[in-house]
């Protein structure tokens, strides 16, 4: 039998449930107003009595039949035999149930007044047996079930409005429900002939008895605390209280039906997975089901509580106002029953752990009975509600304790927090609307719609993983990906690049005279235009290749149809290799290396704009290391307990100054392969397809290991910043990295080539044989700590960390990234990216502490936890330039014994050198005079007190000189704008000068003397002057050295935080004023004598 779509089944069952909810929404308000609480109470009391006998007739066949039919759905003969045997057992149990029913009905005096209604309602017992609903659940025939249910609900609604006119029409109301049940089950029996041949046969009692009894036990005990409340309320109270209780529970149970509707669909599939030992699929489905339950039940519970008054008045009328407190009290059962039902029906029963569920429901039944006996007499319906809520809670706690070994809630913590947050926002919106809208009906409708929008919208904004996974394969998500992810700006940027590429090709000289140096790439239809742009960037290189080769598959381009730009490039010398197969990314080297075995091959990707100096840089490296693979981006292989660690833990930053077999070249940045350095096994096409179809980098690395060829990394820009817009489809990357596909492919290769490269220990020896050369002991004798102050800008901090790792991985370094309470996801992204680096620590401040206290957090962490020789405190927008920077620092210290060292800081945007720090006059080189600071303080105070006036005046002055020269006579210009002076760097070392705050290098002398790096009283600005003042007072040498070179991209974080210039300038003024006050106070303290 063909396996049905689980999503379609779930959608159909949700639709059926919604229709089942709409049915009472239409019928119950009408019936409750006609029949009043007494009439409704009678019908529900009768139904609760009959339900016990229906339960006896069904035994545990409903659940058992569904579970076993799901297992046998592909075995028609076995399914026929099973269904006939179970159907026969069901008929026998139905006869027994009727015997007990008649005895009870005629022997208990209390039931005499209900006898007619009881006899009519009992018809459903037989027809439920005939209907074999369990069979349709087992074969997942939800389309039929949905159509059938909707059809008979429509018929029932019509009959209700036709026959129920007065409060005496209780019998008609009961009969309408019976007609719906009888019709549905008769149709089931007729329709079943399409799938099975039912017959009354001698059942295999020993085979079915035990599981049926176990599941019957669960059903009986569950029904006791599901129906006992209504039954006991009828015996111990009156029909009015039953009516109130029914109204309260009906609305809660309607919502509960919707929440648990997916469970009925998932149960057969879980049984199928459990029977076939498909553990991974079982666990995934359980996790998704639990997420769904929480996603719906949490907002449903809160929403229902907020709207209980309106719902009760609308659906039951004013006569049922006493039911409102009962309904509110019972709202939490939506969450409680959802979770306990999930554990019981979706974990324990498919795994045949029914006894655990029996214990749980037995506990609940006992608690329910005892509390009902005590509370109903005193509190009526409210007491029954307390008993039910307590019993359900006890069941949940018991279930949860025993389910821990099969299911972990820890994985769902993030989702739960998001659901709670979204629900809180929804509750605020709904509460606000209820205060504004007086109309009950209008308020209810608008509140529900608004609540749903707010809740769903919040989860989408939070990128809730469950919601995204549901939408991922939908047309909505496809639309989102197409029109949101690839924004109009990206498309414009792509078109601009394409036009520029056309210009480059039009102005390029033809290549292809010889084959010494070849650049090779491959592509596929979705990226062929991006490939054309990449090829143009290769034509535009400072050193031109002799040939560019693009390998394409005829399977993907059946008519060899190519963009116009590619055709232009062919005329300029681009060579196309057409293949009859598709080796995916392996095409970029496989054919060209065989066709040109004596050539130097550089492979590139089809989605990255390459720096103009790419070929020149890697070719120069090749001349220095001729038998080495040269690349611009690599991963360092990691070892874990004498085995190769998972690919996801391999670090992306590697030392750049020495070749090693520890590195795996990654093709995205460009890779140079010298001729004839690969093992001939490289061209085994069958093995590529079978062992490593998706990871050309790993296949090439294996061939390099066989030849013991090292890899050297050179740096040419940052490839991640040059990705071509609208070219990204990361599915291969995500599958390889995060779903473990790279590890599987690597294992395949190692198993296959064990005879050539030996066991894993042999491979590790080959990979790590030069580890001591890559990480020499003499470079790790000193400890260097880095403090990076991060705020908002992920990209800048990421580049800063990568630069440190690239240049200084050989040294013993410790990086502390201090986040100043960023209000975006930049810290989380950084943590995720650098999760595998044991020498990187992230500290999140609970508030924005500014420059001084923020950096102090990182400084004290390094001082207290590591014996650092040097601590480098840097902005996240500062980049080191030389790989020998740390050696130079140590050399300078040995010569001068500085306390604080400042490098030559170059600002490429302004074209200025910022160290030593001076802005107003050269006198500041050795520290501001107190007179200068006092004067500046007064100016700042005046400006801060009259900030708006100074802002407008400054704006007008600028406008005057730029646009309105005629304003000159109205506004005198005391400080006309001048061109920025391009300051030259100092060529000599300078002692005890003011150093720029973008980079401070503190020696062990400074670290021993000072607990904090900076004065904690300031927030931003003037820290350089205050530090200079303090060091002068403490006899700590401050030194500027032009030997250390860095670049500073100034105020990146501040610009992000303050997009509006007005706010930014106001923040600067306020903090400068405060910092100058601190300086004056400190100066007076040091000079009070």
Q: Are 633 and 745 in contact (CB under 8 A)?
A: no
Query: What is the structure's pLDDT at 1065?
Result: 65
Q: Are 661 and 711 in contact (CB under 8 A)?
A: yes
Predicted confidence band of residue 1051 (pLDDT cuts 50, 70, 90) = low
Query: What is the structure's pLDDT at 1056?
Result: 41
Q: What is the DSSP letter of 551?
A: E
User: Which tens digits make up the pLDDT trace of 927-967?
Assistant: 667 777 777 777 767 766 665 555 555 555 555 444 444 44
Q: Where are the alpha helices (DSSP H) in 885-996?
A: 885-896, 930-945, 947-962
More confident residue, 278 or 551: 551
Tokens for 951? Answer: 């802002």
Q: Which of 511, 516, 282, 322 has the alpha carbon at shortest distance from 407?
A: 282
Q: Which of 207-211, 612-616, 647-651 has the highest mean pLDDT?
A: 612-616
User: Which tens digits make up the pLDDT trace of 505-534?
Assistant: 999 989 877 889 999 999 999 899 999 999
User: Which tens digits make up the pLDDT trace of 783-795?
Assistant: 999 999 998 888 8
C-alpha span between 550 and 554 (Å, rounded): 13
Instruction: Decide: helix, strand or coil at residue 378.
Output: helix
Over residues 622-626, the mean pLDDT reads 93
Query: 916: cis peptide before it, omega within 30°?
Result: yes
> Residues of CATH 3.90.550.10 domain(s) within the chain?
491-774, 777-927+982-1055
Query: What is the structure's pLDDT at 953?
Result: 52
DSSP string, 131-180: TTHHHHHHTT-HHHHHHHHHHHHHHHHHHHHHH--STTTHHHHHHHHHHH
User: Euclidean distance between the first and final Cα of the chain, in Å?
Assistant: 98
Q: Which of 123-127, 486-490, 519-523, 751-755 has the highest mean pLDDT?
A: 519-523
The architecture that CATH gives domain 491-774 is Alpha-Beta Complex (3.90)
User: Judging by DSSP bridges, how do beta strands 878-880 and 1038-1048 pair with one another?
Assistant: antiparallel
Query: What is the structure's pLDDT at 275?
Result: 64
Q: Residue 396 burial by CB count (10 A; 0-12/13-18/19+): exposed, middle or buried?
A: buried
Q: Give me the phi and psi of 979, to 5 degrees please.
A: -70, 140
C-alpha span between 1054 and 1051 (Å, rounded): 5
C-alpha distance from residue 100 to each of 96, 126, 229 (Å): 7, 14, 21
Dihedral sign for Cα 809, 887, 788, 814, please.
positive
Given its phi and psi angles, is residue 602 left (phi above 0), alpha (psi -120 to 50 degrees) or beta?
A: beta
Does the pLDDT value for residue 977 go beyond 50? Answer: no
Query: What is the structure's pLDDT at 58?
Result: 82
Beta-carbon count within 10 A of 580 CB: 7
Predicted confidence band of residue 818 (pLDDT cuts 50, 70, 90) = very high
Query: What is the structure's pLDDT at 40?
Result: 79
C-alpha span between 816 and 156 (Å, rounded): 70
Q: Are 626 and 614 in contact (CB under 8 A)?
A: no
User: Which tens digits make up the pLDDT trace of 390-409?
Assistant: 988 988 888 888 777 666 67
Query: What is the structure's pLDDT at 962?
Result: 46
Cα 192–Cα 194–Cα 198 angle in degrees, nearest 5: 50
Predicted confidence band of residue 926 (pLDDT cuts 50, 70, 90) = low
C-alpha span between 582 and 614 (Å, rounded): 28
Does the pLDDT value for residue 81 go beyond 80? Answer: yes
Instruction: Decide: helix, strand or coil at residue 920.
Output: coil
Bridge partners of 906, per DSSP, are 913, 1047
Query: What is the structure's pLDDT at 717?
Result: 64
C-alpha span between 854 and 630 (Å, rounded): 40
Nearby residues of 683 by Cβ (< 8 Å), 6 or more positions away: 590, 593, 594
Task: Calculate the CA 399 to chain-centre distance.
Answer: 29
C-alpha span between 446 and 430 (Å, rounded): 9
Does the pLDDT value for residue 1089 go beyond 70? Answer: no
C-alpha span between 358 and 938 (Å, rounded): 81
Q: Which of 5, 504, 470, 48 has the alpha carbon at shortest distance from 234?
A: 48
Query: What is the structure's pLDDT at 48?
Result: 80
Average pLDDT along the chain:
81
User: Which tens digits make up the pLDDT trace of 1053-1065?
Assistant: 444 443 445 456 6
Tokens for 180? Answer: 């719906």
Q: Which residues of 636-646 are buried (b: 16+ CB within 10 A; e: fewer)?
A: bbbeeeeebee
User: Which tens digits make up the pLDDT trace of 430-480?
Assistant: 988 888 887 778 888 899 899 989 998 888 888 787 777 666 555 555 545
C-alpha distance from residue 120 to each of 170, 223, 242 (Å): 12, 21, 20
Query: What is the structure's pLDDT at 1010?
Result: 94
C-alpha span between 93 and 126 (Å, rounded): 10
Tokens for 373? Answer: 């006996």
Lowest mean per-residue pLDDT among 117-121, 424-428, 443-447, 919-923: 919-923
Tokens for 706? Answer: 């066989």
Q: What is the DSSP letter of 711?
A: E
C-alpha span between 950 and 943 (Å, rounded): 6
Over residues 37-50, the mean pLDDT reads 82
Dihedral sign for Cα 925, 931, 937, 942, please.
negative
Q: Where are the alpha helices (DSSP H) in 815-946?
A: 826-833, 850-865, 885-896, 930-945
Q: Which of 140-149, 412-421, 738-747, 890-899 has the highest mean pLDDT?
A: 890-899
Predicted confidence band of residue 625 (pLDDT cuts 50, 70, 90) = very high
Lowest mean per-residue pLDDT among 205-214, 855-864, 997-1006: 205-214
C-alpha span between 30 and 59 (Å, rounded): 35
- Overall pTM > 0.85: no
Bridge partners of 878, per DSSP, are 1048
Instruction: Decide: helix, strand or coil at residue 993.
Output: coil
More confident residue, 536 or 109: 536
Query: What is the structure's pLDDT at 738?
Result: 43
Does the pLDDT value for residue 339 go beyond 90? Answer: no
Fold that domain 777-927+982-1055 belongs to in CATH: Spore Coat Polysaccharide Biosynthesis Protein SpsA; Chain A (3.90.550)
Predicted confidence band of residue 19 (pLDDT cuts 50, 70, 90) = low
Rounded to 10 degrees, the C-alpha dihedral 1067/1071/1072/1076 comes to 170
Predicted confidence band of residue 918 (pLDDT cuts 50, 70, 90) = low
Q: Are 480 and 715 in contact (CB under 8 A)?
A: no
Q: Which of 65-74, 231-240, 384-393, 937-946 has the highest mean pLDDT?
A: 384-393
Element (H, E) at 900: strand 900-907
Q: Give me the phi and psi of 548, to 5 degrees please.
A: -120, 130
Q: Residue 867 burial by CB count (10 A; 0-12/13-18/19+): exposed, middle or buried?
A: exposed
Find the radius of gyration of the CA atoms of the chain.
38
Over residues 245-251, the mean pLDDT reads 79
How many separate helices (H) and strands (E) can be counted in the chain? 43, 19
C-alpha span between 1077 and 74 (Å, rounded): 84
Predicted confidence band of residue 733 (pLDDT cuts 50, 70, 90) = very low
Over residues 187-205, the mean pLDDT reads 81
Instruction: Decide: helix, strand or coil at residue 843.
Output: strand
Q: Which residues of 587-620 are buried (b: 16+ CB within 10 A; e: fewer)?
A: bbbbbbbeebeebbbbbbbbbbbbbeebbebbbe
C-alpha span between 460 and 6 (Å, rounded): 23
Query: What is the structure's pLDDT at 928?
Result: 65
Over residues 146-161, the mean pLDDT reads 82
Over residues 225-248, the mean pLDDT reads 78
């Amino acid at each position: 039998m063909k396996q049905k779509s689980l999503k379609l089944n779930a959608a159909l069952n949700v639709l059926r449930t919604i229709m089942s909810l709409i049915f009472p929404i239409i019928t119950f308000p009408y019936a409750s107003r006609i029949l009043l609480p007494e009439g409704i109470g009678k019908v529900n009391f009768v139904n609760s009595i009959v339900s016990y006998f229906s339960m006896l007739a069904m035994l545990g066949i409903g659940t058992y039949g569904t579970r076993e039919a799901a297992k046998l759905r592909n075995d028609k003969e076995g399914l026929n035999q099973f269904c006939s045997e179970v159907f026969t057992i069901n008929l026998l149990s139905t006869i027994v149930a009727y015997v007990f029913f008649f005895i009870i009905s005629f022997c208990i005096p209390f039931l005499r007044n209900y006898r007619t209604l009881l006899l009519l309602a009992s018809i459903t017992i037989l027809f439920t047996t005939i209907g074999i609903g369990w069979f349709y659940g087992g074969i997942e025939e939800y389309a039929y079930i949905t159509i059938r249910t909707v059809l008979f609900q429509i018929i029932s609604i019509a009959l209700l409005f036709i026959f129920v006119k007065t409060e005496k029409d209780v019998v008609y109301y009961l009969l309408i429900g019976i007609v719906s049940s009888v019709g549905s089950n008769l149709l089931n029996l007729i329709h079943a002939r399409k799938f099975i041949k039912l017959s009354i046969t001698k059942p295999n009692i020993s085979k079915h008895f035990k599981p049926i009894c176990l599941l019957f036990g669960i059903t009986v005990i569950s029904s006791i605390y599901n129906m006992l409340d209504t039954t006991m309320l009828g015996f111990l109270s009156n029909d009015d209280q039953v009516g109130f209780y029914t109204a309260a529970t009906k609305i809660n149970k309607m919502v509960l039906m919707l929440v648990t509707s997916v469970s009925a669909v998932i149960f057969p599939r879980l049984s199928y997975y459990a029977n076939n030992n498909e553990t991974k699929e079982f666990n995934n489905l359980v996790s998704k089901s639990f997420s769904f339950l929480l996603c719906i039940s949490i907002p449903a519970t809160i929403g229902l509580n907020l709207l209980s008054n309106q719902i009760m008045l609308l659906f039951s009328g004013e006569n049922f106002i006493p039911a409102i407190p009962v309904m509110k009290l019972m709202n939490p059962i939506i969450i409680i029953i959802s979770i306990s039902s999930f554990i019981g029906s979706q974990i324990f029963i498919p795994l045949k752990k029914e006894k655990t569920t029996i214990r749980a429901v037995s506990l609940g039944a006992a608690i329910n009975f005892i509390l009902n006996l005590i509370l109903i007499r005193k509190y009526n319906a409210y007491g029954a509600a307390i008993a039910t809520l307590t019993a359900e809670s006890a069941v949940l706690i018991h279930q949860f304790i025993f389910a821990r070994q099969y299911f972990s809630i820890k994985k769902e913590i993030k989702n739960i927090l998001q659901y709670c947050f979204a629900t809180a926002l929804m509750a605020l919106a709904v509460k606000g609307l209820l205060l504004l809208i007086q109309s009950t009906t209008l308020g209810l409708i608008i509140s529900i719609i608004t609540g749903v929008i707010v809740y769903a919208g919040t989860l989408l904004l939070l990128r809730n993983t469950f919601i995204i996974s549901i939408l991922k394969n939908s047309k909505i998500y496809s639309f989102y990906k197409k029109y949101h992810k690839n924004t109009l700006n990206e498309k414009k940027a792509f078109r601009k690049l394409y036009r520029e590429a056309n210009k480059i090709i039009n102005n390029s000289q033809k290549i292809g005279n010889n084959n010494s140096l070849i650049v090779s790439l491959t592509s596929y239809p979705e990226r062929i235009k991006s490939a054309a742009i990449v090829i143009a960037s290769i034509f535009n290189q400072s050193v031109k290749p002799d040939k560019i080769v693009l390998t394409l598959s005829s399977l993907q381009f059946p008519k060899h149809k190519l963009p116009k730009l590619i055709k232009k490039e062919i005329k300029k010398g681009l060579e196309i290799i057409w293949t009859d197969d598709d080796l995916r990314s392996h095409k970029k080297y496989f054919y060209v290396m065989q066709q040109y075995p004596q050539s130097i091959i550089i492979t590139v990707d089809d989605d990255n704009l390459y720096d103009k100096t790419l070929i020149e840089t890697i070719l120069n490296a090749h001349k220095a290391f001729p038998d080495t693979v040269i690349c611009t981006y690599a991963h360092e292989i990691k070892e874990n307990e004498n085995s190769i660690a998972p690919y996801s833990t391999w670090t992306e930053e590697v030392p750049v100054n020495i070749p090693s077999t520890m590195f795996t070249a990654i093709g995205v940045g460009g890779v140079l392969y010298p001729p004839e350095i690969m093992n001939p096994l490289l061209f085994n096409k069958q093995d590529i397809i079978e062992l490593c179809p998706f990871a050309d980098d790993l296949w090439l690395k294996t061939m390099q290991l066989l030849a013991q060829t090292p890899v050297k990394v050179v740096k040419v820009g940052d490839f991640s910043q040059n990705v071509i817009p609208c070219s990204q489809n990361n599915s291969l990357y995500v599958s390889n990295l995060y779903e473990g596909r790279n590890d599987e492919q690597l294992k395949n290769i190692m198993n296959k080539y064990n005879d050539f490269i030996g066991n894993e220990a042999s491979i590790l020896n080959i990979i790590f044989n030069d580890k001591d050369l890559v990480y020499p002991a003499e470079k790790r004798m000193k400890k260097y700590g880095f403090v990076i102050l991060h705020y908002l800008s992920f990209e800048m901090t990421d580049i800063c960390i990568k630069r440190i790792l690239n240049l200084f991985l050989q040294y013993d370094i410790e990086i502390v990234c201090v986040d100043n309470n960023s209000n975006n996801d930049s810290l989380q992204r950084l943590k995720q990216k650098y999760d595998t680096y044991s020498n990187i620590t992230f500290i999140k401040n609970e508030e924005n502490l500014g420059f001084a206290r923020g950096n102090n957090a990182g400084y004290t962490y390094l001082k207290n936890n590591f014996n650092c020789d040097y601590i480098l405190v840097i902005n996240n927008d500062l980049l080191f330039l030389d790989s020998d920077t740390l050696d130079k620092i140590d050399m300078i210290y040995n010569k001068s014994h500085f306390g604080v060292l400042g490098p030559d800081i170059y600002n490429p945007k302004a074209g200025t050198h910022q160290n030593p720090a001076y802005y107003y006059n050269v006198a500041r080189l050795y520290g501001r005079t107190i007179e200068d600071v006092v004067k500046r303080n007064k100016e700042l105070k005046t400006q801060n007190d009259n900030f708006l006036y100074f802002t407008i005046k400054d704006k007008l002055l600028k406008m005057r000189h730029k646009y309105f020269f005629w304003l000159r006579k109205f506004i005198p210009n005391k400080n006309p704008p001048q061109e920025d002076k391009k300051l030259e760097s100092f060529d000599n070392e300078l002692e005890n000068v003011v150093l720029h705050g973008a980079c401070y290098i503190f020696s062990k002398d400074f670290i021993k003397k000072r607990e904090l790096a900076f004065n904690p009283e300031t927030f931003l600005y003037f820290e350089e002057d205050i530090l200079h003042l303090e060091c002068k007072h403490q006899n700590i040498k401050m030194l500027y050295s032009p030997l250390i070179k860095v670049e500073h991209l100034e105020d990146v974080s501040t610009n992000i935080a303050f997009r509006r210039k007005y706010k930014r300038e106001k923040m600067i003024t306020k903090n400068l004023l405060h910092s100058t006050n601190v300086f004056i106070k400190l100066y007076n303290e040091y000079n009070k004598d």
